């Protein structure tokens, strides 16, 4: 069964690679066409993630794909959050907020480092702090749209709601429990003792213990990839007619792969209902 999913994810990686290549010659502007650039980044990331899942399954690493699919789910939630905005300008703004939020978290650590270098026994060197500070300053100057306006300081980067708040109610109800479960693999917890240490008296070997939840994650992961391309299809619908035919073919193939991988784990909900707007790109 896991060999079968390895094949599915290898095929998915090729689909995503071909999809992205159809857009390679278009010079997107990261300021004006932020959503397009975000989609290209997401497709490239998902391509690498799919290839990694296939490789891990082929090398008898059954738990690691769960953490990768967790990341795919986060990408999907961001796509759905962006797409639910009322217009293109607001969609671009949500991309900026996602980017700025990461910088906002980095700034918090840089301020801790600043306190350290000013202490009597610093761990950090002052030149290291200055390099980090210059990096933040340069980003703020180069990308002022990532800052709040009016600003509450030189590094007042925008923020986003937490992941659960960015989900549509339907997506949260159906899938957030999977995300919570996967956190046990990204944040080590004694809960994992039944997976990584064969418990005395267990009737199942540890590979069998993880097999069922892993297969479910693999099935859902393929569907998440398909939904990410749903969004991408809308974003790139008006670009490069010849390339669009290739993208349509990739989308159809990934949809078929997702259907094959689904087995009997779940039915396809109308996840796009009320969550996506037509973009009307020129």
Q: pLDDT by residue (tens digit) across 110-131?
A: 999 999 999 999 999 999 999 9
Distance CA 135, CA 108 (A): 14
**How is residue 9 written in tokens?**
């994810």
CA atoms within 13 A on the CB side of 165: 4
> Rounded mean pLDDT of the chain?
88
CB-based contact 157:101 (threshold 8 Å): yes
The size of the chain, in residues, is 282
DSSP the chain: -HHHHHHHHHHHHHHHHHHHHTTTT----TTTSHHHHHHHHHHHHHHHHHHHHHHHHHTT--SHHHHHHHHHHHHHHHHHHHHTSSSHHHHHHHHHHHHHHHHHHHHHHHHHHHHHHTSSS-SS-HHHHHHHHHHHHHHHHH-GGGB-SS-SSTT-B-----HHHHS-HHHHHHHHHHHHHHHHHHS--GGGHHHHS--TT-SS-HHHHHHHHHHHHHHHHHHHHHHHHHHHHHHTTTS-HHHHHHHHHHHHHHHHHHHHHHTTS-----TTTTT-------
CB-based contact 35:92 (threshold 8 Å): yes
CB-based contact 82:91 (threshold 8 Å): yes
Residue scoring higher pLDDT (245 or 206): 245
Question: Phi and psi dihedrals of 147, rounded to 5?
Answer: -100, 150
pTM: 0.88
- pLDDT for residue 197: 64
- pLDDT for residue 189: 76
CB-based contact 41:11 (threshold 8 Å): no
Mean pLDDT (whole number) for 221-228: 96
Comparing 11-15, 146-150, 201-205, the range with the smallest average pLDDT is: 201-205
- pLDDT for residue 273: 42
What are the structural domain ranges in the chain? Answer: 2-84+168-262, 95-146
- pLDDT for residue 45: 97
**How is residue 142 written in tokens?**
């180069």
Residue scoring higher pLDDT (281 or 220): 220
pLDDT exceeds cutoff 80 at 215: yes
pLDDT exceeds cutoff 90 at 280: no
């Amino acid at each position: 069964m896991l060999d079968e999913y390895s094949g599915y994810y290898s095929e998915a990686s090729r689909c995503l690679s071909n999809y992205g290549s159809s857009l390679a010659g278009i010079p997107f502007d990261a300021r004006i066409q932020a959503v397009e650039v975000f989609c290209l980044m997401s497709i490239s990331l998902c391509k690498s993630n799919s290839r990694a899942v296939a490789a891990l399954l082929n090398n008898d690493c059954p738990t690691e794909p769960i953490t990768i699919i967790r990341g795919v789910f986060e990408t999907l939630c961001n796509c759905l959050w962006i797409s639910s905005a009322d217009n293109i300008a607001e969609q671009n703004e949500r991309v900026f907020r996602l980017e700025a939020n990461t910088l906002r978290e980095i700034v918090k650590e840089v301020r801790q480092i600043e306190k350290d270098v000013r202490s009597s026994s610093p761990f950090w060197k002052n030149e290291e702090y200055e390099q980090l500070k210059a990096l933040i300053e340069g980003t703020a100057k180069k990308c002022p749209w990532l800052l709040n306006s009016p600003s509450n300081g030189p590094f007042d980067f925008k923020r986003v709601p937490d992941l659960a708040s960015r989900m549509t109610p339907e997506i949260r109800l159906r899938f957030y429990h999977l995300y919570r479960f996967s956190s046990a693999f990204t944040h080590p917890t004694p809960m994992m003792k039944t997976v990584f240490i064969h418990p005395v008296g267990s009737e199942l070997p540890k590979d069998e213990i993880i097999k069922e939840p892993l297969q479910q994650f693999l099935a859902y992961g393929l569907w998440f990839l398909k939904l990410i391309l749903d969004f991408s299809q809308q974003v790139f619908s008006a670009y490069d007619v010849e390339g669009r035919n290739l993208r349509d073919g990739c989308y159809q193939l990934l949809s078929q792969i997702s259907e094959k991988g689904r087995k009997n784990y779940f039915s396809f909900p109308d996840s796009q209902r009320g969550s996506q707007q037509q973009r009307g790109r020129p």
